[in-house]
Structure 1
C-alpha cells in the first residue's frame, strides 16, 4: 500500500522506521512545522521530519492540515492509508476521506481509557497496573474510532512515563505494521469502542506537574514518574523552582514538605509517609544527586519544600 505517515515527536520515529522496513511504500511524511527549541530557541525540524529527510522522503508541514494546498498535495500522493502516531493536530473530514483505508492511529492506551494527548503520563499518575496500545480508525471525535488491534503492557513500580512510552513505541510500531498488512490482505476486523470505561488524558500542564506535598508518598511518587521526562515534576525551595527526578516512597512519617538530611539520603515528608529524593535540579544548576545538593546547600532544620 501507498502510505503517507503522520507524526511529529521522537516516539513516532520507531513507527516510521518500521513502516519503511515493511512491504508497504511510504510516499511522504506529514508532520508539524519547524518550531523553536533548546536554549537558543532556534527553529528546529521535528524528529519525524529529520528522519524522513534522511530517508529521502517528501515532508508536508502545513500549519493546519485543512488548507486547499495541503489537501491537493495529499490527493496527488494517492495514499491507500495514512498511519498516524502523535501527529499533534486535528485531521479534518476532508483529509480523512482521501485514503481508501482511512487514517490509522497508533494510540498509547487501552481505549476507551485515556483518550487524549497524554495517555501514558495519565496512566502512570493514576497508578494503573496495566496499559497498552491500540490501532484505531481515526474519525472526527477525540480518539473515538473503532479499534483494529491492541496490545497490553504492564506498568512497573518504578516506570516513568518515558520508560513506558519507549516500550510502547517499539511494540506499537509492530502492531501498526500488522494492521496495515491485514488491511491489504482483506483480513482486518475493526470493533467499536465500548461506551463504558471512558477516561480523558489532556496534556499535562506545568502547574499540574508541581508536587503537592500533602498528597500521600505513593501519590507523590506517581506524579513525579508520570511527569518524567516531560514536563518535569517540580516544587519550590527558598522561593525558586526546584526540579525532581523520580523518588522512592518510604514509611517514615514527617510533616508534609519537611526536608530531613541524613548521611546517605534526603527525605521529604508527605501527607502519609515520606519520599527519598533521587536526583534533583536546583534553579540554575545541573541535575545532581540529592545528597550532593544537600551537602552544598545545607537545608536548615525544619526547612520545607512548598
Structure 2
C-alpha cells in the first residue's frame, strides 16, 4: 500500500522505522511544524521529520493545521491508500479523514475503550492499573472512538515509569501497526466497534496535575511520580522552590506528611500513610540527583518540610 505516515515525537519513530522495513511504500510523512527548543529557543524539526529527512525521497509535510487547504490539496494529489498515525498531535478534519481509501489508522497506547486521549500510559500508571497495552483503530471524528483492528496487552511493573512503558509499547505497538496494515491490504482484517462500557479519558497532564499532595497515601504518591516521569515531572516545594521527584521507594517509617528525615545514605518524607524515600530528585534549575546528595547539599533543618511555602 502507498502510505502517508503521521507522527511527531520520538515514540512515533519506532513505528515509522517498522513501516520503512515493511513491504509497504512510504511516500510522505505528516508531522507538526518545527518548534523552538533548547536554551537558544532555535526552531528544531520533530523527531519524525529528522528521521524522514535521512530516508531521502520521502516528502515531509508540516501543516500548521491539518485543515489547511494547501495540505488537503497536496494529500489528495499524493492519493495514499492508508495513513498510519502515531502521536501526531493535530486534530484531523473530516476532509482529511476521507482522502485515503482505507482511512487513517491510529496506534494508541491503551486497550480501548480505556484511556482515550493524549496521555493514556501516564493515566494508566497513576490510576494503579496492572495491565495496559496498545490498540490500532480507524480514526473517526470522536476522540479515539473508532472501530478497533487489533489489540495487545502489556503488564505494568511496580517500578515502571511512563517512559519505561512507552518505550516497550512503542516496540510491540510498531509490530501491531504493521500487522494491521498487512491485514487491511490483504482484506482479511475487519475493524470491530468499541464497546460502550469501560470508557475512560486520559487528557494531557499539566504541571498542576503533577503536584504531589503529601497527605495522600505513599502508594498513590509513588504512582503519580512514576506516571509523570519523564514529563511533566511530579513535584513539590522546598523552601519556596519547586523540587521535582523522579523516583521514590516505600519504607516502614512513620513521619507526619511533609516532614523530612535525612541520614548520610537516604532522605525520607512523611505521607498520609508510611514515609517514602526520595530516591531521585531534581532541584529547580539543576540536573537530577540522588535524594541523599540533595539533602546533604541543602542541609535540612528540623524546621524544613516539603510542600510548605
TM-score by length of 2: 0.98
State the SS of the aligned residue for 1:175.
Answer: helix
CA distance in 2, matches of 1:251, 1:78: 62
Q: Which runs of 4+ in 1 moved over 6 A?
A: none
Counterpart mapping for 1:252-263 below 5 A: 252-263=253-264
Residue 289 of structure 1 deviates from its aligned partner by 0.9
Superposed CA RMSD in Å reads 0.8
CA distance in 2, matches of 1:79, 1:112: 28
CA distance in 1, matches of 2:188, 2:119: 31
1:300 corresponds to: 301
- Once the two structures are superposed, residues 95-143 of structure 1 have per-residue CA deviations (whole angstroms, 9 ceiling, x without a partner) of 1000010000000000000000000000010110000000000000000
- Once the two structures are superposed, residues 260-306 of structure 1 have per-residue CA deviations (whole angstroms, 9 ceiling, x without a partner) of 00232110100111111111111232221111111121110242101
CA distance in 1, matches of 2:158, 2:38: 31
1:7 corresponds to: 7
1:194 corresponds to: 195
Residue 188 of structure 1 deviates from its aligned partner by 0.6
Instruction: Decide which moves more: 242-251 or 67-76.
Output: 242-251
1:208 corresponds to: 209
**C-alpha contact 1:204 1:231 (8 A) present in aligned 2:** yes
Counterpart mapping for 1:233-248 below 5 A: 233-248=234-249
- Once the two structures are superposed, residues 149-191 of structure 1 have per-residue CA deviations (whole angstroms, 9 ceiling, x without a partner) of 0000000000000000000000000000000000111101211
2:288 corresponds to: 287
Residue 251 of structure 1 deviates from its aligned partner by 2.4
CA distance in 1, matches of 2:63, 2:285: 36
**C-alpha contact 2:264 2:296 (8 A) present in aligned 1:** no
Matched, 1:125 2:152: no
Matched, 1:102 2:108: no
State the SS of the aligned residue for 1:299.
Answer: coil
State the SS of the aligned residue for 1:236.
Answer: strand
**C-alpha contact 2:234 2:244 (8 A) present in aligned 1:** yes
**C-alpha contact 1:235 1:244 (8 A) present in aligned 2:** yes
CA distance in 1, matches of 2:204, 2:251: 29
CA distance in 1, matches of 2:40, 2:211: 25
TM-score by length of 1: 0.99
CA distance in 2, matches of 1:76, 1:201: 35
2:278 corresponds to: 277
2:37 corresponds to: 37
Instruction: Decide which moves more: 246-255 or 115-124.
Output: 246-255
- Once the two structures are superposed, residues 232-257 of structure 1 have per-residue CA deviations (whole angstroms, 9 ceiling, x without a partner) of 11111000111111111222221111
CA distance in 1, matches of 2:240, 2:109: 37
State the SS of the aligned residue for 2:23.
Answer: coil
Aligned residue pairs total 306
State the SS of the aligned residue for 1:23.
Answer: coil
